[in-house]
Amino acid sequence: MKSQMLRHPCAAFGLVMLVGIASACSSTSKSSTKASASLATSVRADPNGFGGYEMPGHVTEISAGWKVPTISATSPNGDASTWVGVDNQSRAFIQLGTLENKIGFGFGVNTSTEDVYDAFWSDTSLDFHPHSLGRVTAGDQVYAEMVQTARGWVLHFRDPARRLSVVLPTSYGAGAKFTRSEWLQEDPVPHALAPYVDSPYPSMSTVSLGGLTVNQKPPRLTYSNAKALASANGVFLVPTRFAQDMFMMEPADPIEVQYLEDVEPINAGSNEFYDAVQGIVSGLTAQDAAALWISALSTCATQLLSQPWPTTTRGDVSRLATSTTKVAADLRTWESAASSKRAKLLKQAHDDQATSSKLADAIRSEIGLPPPG
């Protein structure tokens, strides 16, 4: 199996800010670190390499079935995964599903590729690295179910076409309460040192997840539970509305793509800045990360104003561009401020981000996108 790292889909539970792809910042001074770190955690967003549905609530069983998507012959090399999972606010997490990877070999004229499809599972104790349960084939109908027992989660995976049937008892999660159910497609990261640098996403057939259950019953999912997948190489997938216990992941339409492309750099900028100021897996200084994020905010504001939008959306887009510019200005002030003043300036940025978040929610609704994850 190709070495890769899947991610916990919510690195921190909190408010999602700024064009639906939040921002976060904190002070590194001793006098304001505590207040700043607390605020930063409250506004940090999920990575956006996930698409599908999530549902809050106590969960002891989750399942779904799907046909393993087929990677296109013309697809670039890339990694994808389709899975069910559960987690909680303590970062306990376990998942079960399929990997869909296009792998390149060799150099120059001697290159070749291989499409690799695997059943896998992972959890937090495995550092999110996938562990193979056996090979599957594109187009196979597969079924994944996880059941929590007193001894931990028991994983059930079936691929009737390949006569693959796995029942894997684990000790993971014994005694823990899990509070979120997930039915997702993911654009994994290549390694832990770059948690916000996604792998390229392969071109694949549309995925339909059906027969969803949670606690042995069909879940009650609304579009507020949905989230769109945005990849670094320009693949944008949007879940259909949940109906008859199933949904599909479909390519975004041109206006949805335009919006998601505009805000994509903000996600990377905000999370890299947050990691830099917190000293978490980042090669950037806080000042360098702030400069990159400010640039992303400014570019986004310019793009929003220069593009065509539906008549019903233009007003909110204009207001969002103004609000985004204001957040960039807040960060410039934070950048040059004395350490003793950074906590107060961070609070100002937080308040301006809240305005951006409301405008972003309105725009997403107007153009048919689900809320930010």
pLDDT digits (tens, 9 = 90+) for 342-356: 889 878 888 888 898
**Cα–Cα nearest to 6, from 185, 142, 273:** 185
Phi first, then psi, for residue 159 (nearest 5°) are -135, 90
Query: Pick the residue with more confidence: 1 or 140?
Result: 140
pTM for this entry: 0.82
Please give the structure tokens belonging to residue 84: 């069910």
Torsion of CA 75, 76, 78, 80, to 10 degrees: -20
287-313: pLDDT as tens digits: 898 899 899 999 999 999 999 999 999
Among 194, 249, 260, residue whose Cα is nearest residue 83: 249
**Quick check: 18 pLDDT over 50?**
no
| Pick from 57-61, 127-131, 277-281: least confident | 277-281
Average pLDDT, the chain: 84
Quick one: pLDDT band at residue 72, thresholds 50, 70, 90? very high
Q: Among the residues of the chain, which ranges form H helices? A: 33-43, 254-278, 286-306, 311-336, 342-367
> Does residue 224 contact residue 55 with C-beta atoms inside 8 Å?
no
Those residues whose C-beta lies under 8 Å from the C-beta of residue 118, and which sit 6 or more positions away, are: 1, 98, 99, 101, 130, 132, 133, 134, 135, 136
Res. 43 pLDDT band, cuts 50 70 90: very low
The rounded distance, in Å, linking the Cα atoms of 206 and 199 is 19
Q: With CA atoms as reference, report the closest residue to 130 among 47, 229, 7.
A: 7
pLDDT band at 323 (very low <50, low <70, confident <90, very high): very high
More confident residue, 191 or 64: 64
